[in-house]
Amino acid sequence: MENEKSFLPYFITEDIYVVSERGAEIIAPIEEATVVAESTPEYIAPSIKYKGENRKGILILVENNEGEYLNSEDEIFLSKILQAVGIQLYDIALVNVNTVESINQLLEIKHTTVIAFTTKYAEINEKISNELYQIQTQEKVQILLAHPLHEISQEKEKKIKLWKQLQVLF
């Protein structure tokens, strides 16, 4: 009875599709089909998790090895930066790049602007340069790379560089 498949049409009434790299192929009717399982070694990265509601399509990237997103001091500082340009924390999508495996994961998040407080974004997205405080454009997305938030908060020169570029962006 192990190889008996005559009962399948009573349980599965819909068409069955086999999806492969060649595309989808329909197998019907079920009683004529041989059940085929194609094994693919392809790894599918999980969807990316972010903080905020992404109301304005602004992707903020940080790098934090010690927590999920930001420590409280950096989050307060980021909030002040965003408020200065009329944005709230809920308007953005905040992502810790340590949870990102490929640029495709970030592309799942709808955005028109990227502000990366890490140079790791240039490693993930090989099409941009790792030059800090220079607005770059890639496929209608404006990208700004900057130092980590804790460094900017402690150095007036870095604050000034960031502020000048944020005025251009917003």
pLDDT of residue 102: 84
Q: What is the mean pLDDT of residues 80-107?
A: 92
Domain boundaries, the chain: 1-42, 58-169
Q: What is the mean pLDDT of residues 84-88?
A: 94
Taking only the tens place, the pLDDT of each residue in 38-48 is 444 554 555 78
How would you classify residue 160: left for phi > 0, otherwise alpha for psi between -120 and 50, otherwise beta? alpha
Residue 93 pLDDT > 50, yes or no?
yes
pLDDT of residue 116: 96
Containing 145, the helix (H) or strand (E) segment is strand 141-145
Q: In the chain, pLDDT over 90 holds for what percent of residues?
A: 54
DSSP category for residue 40: -
Residue 65 pLDDT > 90, yes or no?
no
CATH fold of 58-169, please?
Answer: Uracil-DNA Glycosylase, subunit E (3.40.470)
pLDDT of residue 166: 96
pLDDT of residue 67: 81
